[in-house]
Amino acid sequence: MKIAIIGSGLIGQSWAMIFAGAGHKVTLYDIVSEQVSKALETIATNLKNYESQGCLRGQLTASRQVSLITGSSDLQECLNGASYVQECVPESVDLKRQVFNQMDMYITEDMIVASSSSCLGVSQFVGEMKNKHRTLVAHPVNPPYFVPLVEIVPGPWTLPEVSQQTRTLLESVGQAPVTLSKECPGFALNRIQYSIINECWCMYKDGLLSAADIDKLMVNGLGPRYAFIGPLETMHLNADGIVDYCKRYAQGAYNVSSTLTPPPIMYDIPTAENVQSELSSAVPLEQLLERRKWRDRHLAALASLKNQLKEK
């Protein structure tokens, strides 16, 4: 199957590696043609590094995967013959509208066009298109090569089979898609993520815990638990089923939840500066790049452990 990637920045490169890992032919397009050649070089380096570190995805060698990925500086050529298109241009309604309108005339009846959008639903930018029923959001989580979740978010015009075929394709390449029934602000992942961040922010501002201890709480408590079972199954296992859990703990949970405050506005730079000075004592700003690489190595190791456990 041919996959077209529109926008060859961080996320476009990740999608290209994921699809090539599963043996698909990938063509990368970017408005900046030098960016395409830079992206192809970065992808080749990354895949070779992943191979030597033992975290390359799929059955093919890194050089075989690299050979499946080509670049193009022509939108029509990139889309020609593609069954699935993944748009990865910056998060701007006007830019996405312009790119989707440009693609419209090349969309065929068997093509799916997905946007990587983090928070914009397709309804905000595909309304003028003839082929809007073949568009939807497929929102990955950074770094997508090691964190498999993808949120599939259909727009009001998306055909049900377009959502279903996207889910099947993403599962077949090793991602873990979930499907929302309709668009909503923040989709699902960011709604949950912001509720966590908001409470962390409030606890820090109240002086309840240090920044380091808030992060430790997630890394050593909720994080390990949620790496294998979600919050609903946790309730199910922590009593004789979730109905029993609700009978036993609903009142206590409600009492705590009633003390949660409305969302804070994080544009509170003095608080952010205090958190940053604490975080910087462990990871100075000039070491963020190194720390991101460290994070990716650990996520790769976790992904590989989860795969091994799945096989048992």
Which residues are near ligand NAI by CB under 6 A?
6-12, 30-32, 35, 88-91, 95, 99, 116-118, 139-140, 142
Query: φ, ψ for residue 135 (rounded to 5)?
Result: -115, 155
Interhelix angle 33-53/10-21, nearest 10 degrees: 50
Work out the number of other CB atoms within 10 angstroms of the CB of residue 19.
27
Cβ-based nearer residue to ligand NAI, 79 or 235:
79
Cβ-based nearer residue to ligand NAI, 116 or 166:
116
Q: How far is CA 249 from CA 242, 246, 300, in A?
A: 10, 5, 36
Cβ-based nearer residue to ligand NAI, 148 or 235:
148
Give least dist CB 119 to ligand NAI, A.
7
Cβ-based nearer residue to ligand NAI, 75 or 275:
75
Which single residue brings its beta carbon nearest to ligand NAI? 9
Bond from prior residue into 177 cis (ω within 30 degrees of 0):
no
In this structure, the strands spanning 135-140 and 112-115 are parallel
Give least dist CB 142 to ligand NAI, A.
3
Give least dist CB 211 to ligand NAI, A.
22
Cβ-based nearer residue to ligand NAI, 120 or 235:
120
CA 248 to chain centre: 36
d(CA 238, CA 245): 7
Give least dist CB 162 to ligand NAI, A.
19
Give least dist CB 149 to ligand NAI, A.
10
Task: Give the chain's largest Cα–Cα span.
Answer: 61
